[in-house]
Amino acid sequence: MRFYEREDELENELNRGALWAITYGDMMSYLMIFFMILFAFYSSKNITSQFSAKAIEETFGKDTEVASTLFSKHGIQQIAQVEISANKISINFSDPILFTPGSDVLKPSSYPHLRRLTAVFQDLPNPIQIEGHTDNRPLGRGTRFRSNWELSSARAFSVLQFFIKEGVAPEKLSAVGYGEFKPIQTNESPEGRSKNRRIEINIIRHEI
């Protein structure tokens, strides 16, 4: 009789041990699944970051290649300032290179400089925006423009017309005048005013 009672006790203990083992196994399985999810999440996040960095690098590289062409092949650095920013490549001409004071008529001597850009723009799919800027001094007598705003707009449009005549697709071009309202230097000195009187030609970077 005692033998059977002892056998029942052993069986109950084994059952309790089996239940504990099952519970422990379930817990370990859940932990393993949890860590696998964490690993997959961070791996996916890292891959996404790598692809984003690669896309940015590729876009920057293309723009650098364009700027390099402007600098080396066409010699733009000799007559203009070229800058690369987050969303555009800017080519700045000071106004004496392109225009006489108070005029929106391009100097004949400016044609070769602008034709260097034409050769580049014809091969680019990017939008091209032409901006006219002046200093803050009032216009002198004898000019047909009522304000610096009008003068800057007319100058930007003159450059746009030149590019169209030279074969740049009109749908890529736009022109705008800002007058004295977007200076890049102080207007308190002759040097600053000279830098503010400019035509800025922007190659707009495509969105990533």
* 59-88 pLDDT, tens digit each: 445 656 666 666 566 677 777 888 878 788
Give the residues across from 176 on adjacent strands: 131
Structure tokens given for 102: 């108070």
How far is 16 from 20, CA to CA, in rounded Å? 6
Name the more confident of 198 and 23.
198
Instruction: State the pLDDT at residue 122.
Output: 84
Report which of 99, 91, 85 is spatially closest to residue 128, judged by C-alpha positions.
91
Distance CA 91, CA 70 (A): 9
The domain locations on the chain are 1-60, 74-204
What is the second-level CATH architecture of the domain 74-204? 2-Layer Sandwich (3.30)
92 SS3 class: strand
DSSP lists the bridge partners of residue 199 as 93, 132
Query: Is the CB of residue 167 less than 8 Å from the CB of residue 118?
Result: yes
The answer for residues whose C-beta is within 8 angstroms of residue 174's C-beta and 6 or more apart is 127, 128, 129, 130, 160
Per residue in 16-63, pLDDT (tens digit) is: 555 555 555 555 665 565 555 545 444 444 433 333 334 334 444 565
CA distances from 37 to 32, 33, 42, 44 (A): 9, 6, 9, 10
